Amino acid sequence: MPRPDEQMIFVPRFALESNYLADYFGLWAIHEQSFVSAVEKLQGTDLRQHIKQASGDGGGSGYTTTKDGIAIIAINGPTMKFTPSMSEGTSTVRVRQQLKSAKRDESVKGVMLVMDTPGGTSKGNQDLADEVAALAEVKPVFAFVEDMTASAGVSVASQATKRFANNATAMYGAMGTYAVIQDTSGMAEKLGVKVHVVRAGDHKGAGVPGTEVTAEQLTEMQRIVDAVNESYLQTIAKGLKKSVELIRPFADGRIILASDAVSAGLIDGVQSFDQTYQGLLDAVSKPIQPTRKGAMQMEPATLQDLKKTFPNSSAEWRESQLEANATLSEAAIAYAGHVEAKATSEREQHKKDLDAAKNAKPEKSRSLGHVPLTSENVAGDDLDSQQSGDPIADFDSAVRAKLPKNREPSLEERQAAIAFVARTKPALHRSYIEAVNAGNKRVARLISEKYDDAA
| CATH number of the domain enclosing 41 | 3.90.226.10
pLDDT-derived band at 397, boundaries 50, 70, 90? confident
263 and 159, same structural domain?
yes
412 and 263, same structural domain?
no
The answer to whether residue 102 is domain-embedded is yes
234 and 122, same structural domain?
yes
Q: Among residues 290, 325, 342, which one ends one of the domains?
A: 290
Q: What pLDDT score was predicted for residue 33?
A: 58
Any residues with CB less than 8 A from the CB of 75 and at least 6 apart, and which? 90, 95, 113, 114, 115, 116, 117, 153, 156
Domain that holds residue 450: 369-454
**CA-CA distance, 293 to 382, in Å (whole number)?**
53
Type and span of the H or E element at 423: helix 411-424
The answer to whether residue 399 is domain-embedded is yes
**CA-CA distance, 255 to 265, in Å (whole number)?**
15
- Taking the CB of residue 428, how many other CB atoms lie within 10 A of it? 18
* Distance set, CA 139 to CA 130, 136, 161, 290 (Å): 14, 5, 9, 11
**Number of domain units in the chain:** 2
401 and 257, same structural domain?
no
SS3 for 31? coil
Residues paired with 75 in a beta bridge: 115
Q: Among residues 260, 290, 320, which one ends one of the domains?
A: 290
pLDDT-derived band at 109, boundaries 50, 70, 90? very high
Q: Which of 143-147, 240-244, 296-300 has the lowest mean pLDDT?
A: 296-300
For 86-105, what is each residue's pLDDT tens digit?
Answer: 557 899 999 999 999 999 99
* pLDDT at position 296 over 60: no
Looking at per-residue pLDDT, the higher value among 257 and 62 belongs to 257
Q: Are 59 and 90 in contact (CB under 8 A)?
A: yes
The answer to whether residue 336 is domain-embedded is no
